[in-house]
Structure 1
Amino acid sequence: MRRSSRGACATWRDPRREQAGCTIAEIWDPVPDARAGAALGRALRALRYNEESIVNLLGEDGPAAGLSDVAVFDRRLPDSPLGDAARLLLLQIAITRDDAVAALGDEGLDALLTTQIARADGDRIVPRGRVVPAEGLLMSFDGFAVGDDDPHGYVASYTPTASWLAALTPRRRFGRALDIGTGSGAQALLASRHSRHVVATDLNPRAVAFTSLNAALNGIDNVEVRLGSLFEPVAGETFDLITCNAPYVVSPEDRWQYRDASGFEADQLSQTVVTQAPRYLNDGGFACMLVSWLAESEESQDVRVERWLADNDCDSWVIGLSGADPLDHAAGWNEHLSDDPEDYGAALDRWTAYFEELGVGWITEGAVLMHRRSGDVHMIRTDSADEDELEYASDQVERVFEALALVAELDDPQELLGERLALAEDARIEQSVGEDGARVVLEAGTWPELEVDDETVDVLVELDGRATVGEAIDRARMPPRRSTLEDLQELLELGMLELRS
């Protein structure tokens, strides 16, 4: 179930400080002043305001602090410049001007006020938004969500879905990268580390402003931000990497621009992104996106997304991260209303009626990864992964698509006999004493696993990257069984085996 920080905004006072950022809804917009952003970034880096420091002060959950954590975390923080910076920018608590100067310096405080992320109120500095360290970056965005009082064009924090997409994106060197529906710009900034030039697009002017500001905060100068919907600002251009974590939640709502696919019926936003992305990819390019797709039932859950991926000149890997029937889906996305049974029930009825009208019995949310390449045959692979176990998968993704390109040319698993394979670095063979067979696990990426028999284990032990599959089978002193070759192909497609030249 998704965690939500939405709900009533608790307030309290003490002699030194008060939470002020979410007690009164303000109409404000971030100012993407490059000089101010750079100065604020320097001040925060000098203070060592980063993930490691926040974890040391607040524990592993510190950088992902939600509104419900504020009271406890406030009391855990020390009365120090770093502690006060965390109160102001992570927890959205007002602090005194003197404490702000001690934390940021005069130049840093002036920069913060210039960006409008905070404002001066007498001798207090009152936060409007937040600046949070994530993935080695400093990310600014709107303050804690408070429901209907959120500003129009609310820009969300670095969310779990953002981390999932970051984990599934290949991190090889690219020439040109594109992030559509960029939000706060997280994926664009991450891509800037391994891309010559990045374009980020968003229909929301506040998102465009936050992305520009975040580039300045991090001293990044190879990200170009364009205002517009999805691919419209890059018509006629092509890229080596495309990422997308646009609003993909299928719902009857349109109130939250960062969540709901406003202006698109059902899963049409996801369909648009998936079907249009290949035409903007260079040969050899990758597209990685988080989307939703609908089905009549759980048994047919991937039929629709596979139809989107047909005949697109790409190999595709679909990874389901969560799935639910309409009631569970509605309950998860309306959990912020659970303290009010009447409103919660009304929302559940409205959402389930919407899905019933659409004829939908199952909603899947997950990732679609594509690799464009030449060739007459292209592969579509579907898997599922536990979102809570997902880790950085760049190497696995590269292996999977290399495998799919090979398998597309095979007519029979017997053709693997001439290939040289080896277990991936993070792959493990787990055997239990007294039990037949074993389990092969990749302890990285999507953490896939596959049960294999003893004969396949004997062959896996012989695969050292130098011997061919046929030679490894001979060393294991067994005939080339079809079931073993099928297991090897499956391990290869899951990224647990790698091809060696």
Structure 2
Amino acid sequence: MRTSCAISRGASRHNGGVSPTASESLPADRSDVTRGLRDALLSAEFTADGLLELLGAPAYAALARSETVPALRATRGEGPLETLVRLFLLQQPVLRERVAGVLPLDACLESGWLRGIGTGAEVAATVDVRPYGGPDGEDWFIVSDLGCAVGGAGGIGSHDEGVVLGVGGASTTLAGITVRTPVAAALDIGTGSGIQALHASRHATQVTATDLNPRALHITALTLALSGAPAADLREGSLYEPVDQGAGATYDLIVSNPPFVISPGARLTYRDGGMSGDDLCRSIVQGAGEYLNDGGHAQFLANWQHVEGEEWTERLRSWVPRGCDAWIVQREVQDITQYAELWLRDAGDHRTDPAAYAARYDAWLDEFEARKVKAVGFGWITLRKTGAAEPSIVVEEWPHPVEQPLGDTVRAHFARVDWLRAHDDAALLESSFRLSGEVVQEQVGLPGAEDPEHVVLRQGRGMRRATKVDTVGAGFAGVCDGTLSAGRILDAIAQLMGEEPVLLRDRTPAQIRTLVEQGFLEPVA
């Protein structure tokens, strides 16, 4: 949950950096200045690839952990790229004449991207501007508050209620799992610095982005403009309230990395939803059904409570709106002490007065105790609007490594759900299947034993699942090449094993369905 890729986490407010608060003014959203600034950044190779080449892998990775010293050492030169890294990433004051050789200085000062320091001999950035590589090699830039491009293990170190973060592990995770098919209308709820809206702009005709924080909406506009992306329809408000203004507004894609942290109170807008327990996540999931078009997807990151005496899986099933299929994956579980410590550190509370830290920690545990919460889960929730009389709701735990991006994997999951729903066991046995690519078989048993204790099929791509199968399941999967029907394969296996074919046909479809549902087998049209 707290990891991120490459230059996605910003430098914290230390090492002499400039650190105005989030209450200070933002750059003006002026297209002429933004275009000139973008051109200058690209000309200096202030891109994800350019940074890697300049800094080298160790310093590049360190900057992603909010450790700035290696990057400071790597930018001692006075070239254009070193100047921009010092200015926007490391947030150091830089001599005016040095910046003037790289950026349209007067325009950047006038519009508020830069500000003079002291006597005016130096200038500093007013916002964090972070290179971000798009999925097809696009050179994008994410704007956020200074020192708040998600601050690494030490927390962002800001208690400003309206602070706007940059790219973090959660936002890149959501971007990676989102289904990327062409759509007419997409909705990004709680847009923050605009990362999800930026991704959606590649495949949605119209993007609507909402946020309770007006500062976030302004920063989203800057992110889109500086990245050369189309402008979005920006609306202020909580959850679905901003789109209620347009009666009947529906979307083909809804995404949200909401303020899902379960905390005692709404202390920080970017992370604390202000509702009791996990009610905010429940509300956003339950409300999605009303705003989805048929066939549309809604994809969220969320926290949920593990409550004493209640199955967490049933809690999440109750969130799924009527008429929607769902695939919910729990990626991580933390006990309540780990959870409280994580988010206290995120806000930098561990660096404040010890008594204040202890009081906040105690309040967090009081909240959990009152609600009988023993742990908190984190994961992904994907809905798809189908209107099916018997919806498919899959709730599972998979804490193991996966291969991002997973958007195609998510889309394929629901396509298989449709296929399975349309085929009873008789139709399944008449169908042909193909073993998915990069599936291997592992056999586990004592050395020298004639037969393995169990057989495991393992995926090399996507979710990288592993599932245990019996001898029949392993044999069936091994010969699936799309030429023979499932029934004919089972008849051949029955003959080899000396079993009654009818009995094998009766007991095997459930195992085949599991292999199809989990993506080990693909139905052949």
TM-score in terms of structure 1 length: 0.88
For the pair 1:470 / 2:487, whether they are aligned, the reply is yes
Task: Give the structure 2 partner of residue 16 of structure 1.
Answer: none
> Unaligned regions of 5+ residues in structure 1, if any?
12-18
Q: Describe the SS at the equivalent of 1:407.
A: helix
For the pair 1:441 / 2:458, whether they are aligned, the reply is yes
CA distance in 1 between partners of 2:309 and 2:338 (Å): 13
Per-residue deviation, 1:100: 2.1
Q: Describe the SS at the equivalent of 1:377.
A: coil
Deviations 1:266-319 (A, max 9, x none): 212111110111111111111101122223149712222111115x11110011
Q: Sort the Cα spacing of 1:363 and 1:84 in 2 relative to 1 into closer, same or farther, 3 A.
A: same
Q: Sort the Cα spacing of 1:390 and 1:349 in 2 relative to 1 into closer, same or farther, 3 A.
A: farther
Q: Sort the Cα spacing of 1:220 and 1:2 in 2 relative to 1 into closer, same or farther, 3 A.
A: closer
Per-residue deviation, 1:30: 3.8
Q: Describe the SS at the equivalent of 1:361.
A: strand
Matches within 5 A, 1:52-451: 52-56=49-53, 57-59=55-57, 62=60, 65=63, 68-77=66-75, 79=77, 80-102=79-101, 104-105=102-103, 107=104, 109-114=105-110, 116-121=112-117, 122-136=120-134, 137-145=140-148, 149-221=158-230, 223-235=232-244, 236-262=248-274, 264-297=275-308, 300-309=311-320, 312-335=322-345, 336-339=348-351, 341-386=354-399, 389=402, 391-409=404-422, 415-431=427-443, 435=452, 437-451=454-468
Q: Describe the SS at the equivalent of 1:334.
A: helix
Q: Sort the Cα spacing of 1:266 and 1:129 in 2 relative to 1 into closer, same or farther, 3 A.
A: same
Stretch deviating more after TM superposition (431-440 or 320-329): 431-440
Q: Sort the Cα spacing of 1:401 and 1:408 in 2 relative to 1 into closer, same or farther, 3 A.
A: same
Q: Sort the Cα spacing of 1:204 and 1:470 in 2 relative to 1 into closer, same or farther, 3 A.
A: same
2:22 and 2:162 in contact (8 A); partners too: no
Q: Sort the Cα spacing of 1:8 and 1:465 in 2 relative to 1 into closer, same or farther, 3 A.
A: closer
Deviations 1:105-147 (A, max 9, x none): 3x3x445435534312212221232111224221111111486
Q: Describe the SS at the equivalent of 1:93.
A: coil
Give 2:490's aligned amino acid. I
Q: Sort the Cα spacing of 1:119 and 1:62 in 2 relative to 1 into closer, same or farther, 3 A.
A: same
> Unaligned regions of 5+ residues in structure 2, if any?
135-139, 149-154
CA distance in 2 between partners of 1:61 and 1:165 (Å): 26
Q: Describe the SS at the equivalent of 1:269.
A: helix
CA distance in 2 between partners of 1:348 and 1:239 (Å): 40
CA distance in 1 between partners of 2:145 and 2:410 (Å): 33
CA distance in 1 between partners of 2:21 and 2:213 (Å): 23
Q: Sort the Cα spacing of 1:426 and 1:201 in 2 relative to 1 into closer, same or farther, 3 A.
A: farther
2:326 and 2:392 in contact (8 A); partners too: yes
Q: Sort the Cα spacing of 1:130 and 1:483 in 2 relative to 1 into closer, same or farther, 3 A.
A: farther
Give 2:463's aligned amino acid. T
Per-residue deviation, 1:387: 7.4
Q: Sort the Cα spacing of 1:464 and 1:58 in 2 relative to 1 into closer, same or farther, 3 A.
A: same
Give 2:318's aligned amino acid. R
Task: Give the structure 1 partner of residue 36 of structure 2.
Answer: 39
Give 1:405's aligned amino acid. D
Per-residue deviation, 1:245: 0.7
Per-residue deviation, 1:431: 4.7
Per-residue deviation, 1:374: 3.4
Q: Describe the SS at the equivalent of 1:44.
A: helix
Q: Sort the Cα spacing of 1:124 and 1:422 in 2 relative to 1 into closer, same or farther, 3 A.
A: farther
Per-residue deviation, 1:253: 3.4
1:326 and 1:355 in contact (8 A); partners too: yes
1:392 and 1:444 in contact (8 A); partners too: no
CA distance in 2 between partners of 1:234 and 1:349 (Å): 38
1:142 and 1:156 in contact (8 A); partners too: yes
2:11 and 2:89 in contact (8 A); partners too: no
Deviations 1:182-214 (A, max 9, x none): 111111110111111111111211111011111
Task: Give the structure 1 partner of residue 510 of structure 2.
Answer: 486
Task: Give the structure 2 partner of residue 20 of structure 1.
Answer: 17
1:7 and 1:337 in contact (8 A); partners too: no
Q: Sort the Cα spacing of 1:387 and 1:23 in 2 relative to 1 into closer, same or farther, 3 A.
A: farther
Q: Sort the Cα spacing of 1:438 and 1:73 in 2 relative to 1 into closer, same or farther, 3 A.
A: farther
Stretch deviating more after TM superposition (434-443 or 77-86): 434-443
Per-residue deviation, 1:151: 4.2
Stretch deviating more after TM superposition (150-159 or 352-361): 150-159
CA distance in 2 between partners of 1:33 and 1:277 (Å): 34
Per-residue deviation, 1:71: 2.0
Deviations 1:135-163 (A, max 9, x none): 42211111114867554411111010001
Task: Give the structure 1 partner of residue 151 of structure 2.
Answer: none
Give 2:512's aligned amino acid. L
Q: Describe the SS at the equivalent of 2:333.
A: strand
Q: Sort the Cα spacing of 1:410 and 1:184 in 2 relative to 1 into closer, same or farther, 3 A.
A: same
Q: Describe the SS at the equivalent of 2:32.
A: helix
CA distance in 1 between partners of 2:183 and 2:30 (Å): 28
CA distance in 2 between partners of 1:357 and 1:384 (Å): 26
Deviations 1:403-449 (A, max 9, x none): 222334566x5653223322333444345796454432333333322
CA distance in 2 between partners of 1:243 and 1:397 (Å): 14
Match of 1:51 among 39, 48, 53: 48
CA distance in 1 between partners of 2:484 and 2:48 (Å): 45
Give 1:289's aligned amino acid. F
Q: Sort the Cα spacing of 1:356 and 1:486 in 2 relative to 1 into closer, same or farther, 3 A.
A: same
Task: Give the structure 1 partner of residue 137 of structure 2.
Answer: none
Task: Give the structure 2 partner of residue 10 of structure 1.
Answer: 14
Aligned length: 488
Larger Cα-atom Rg: 2
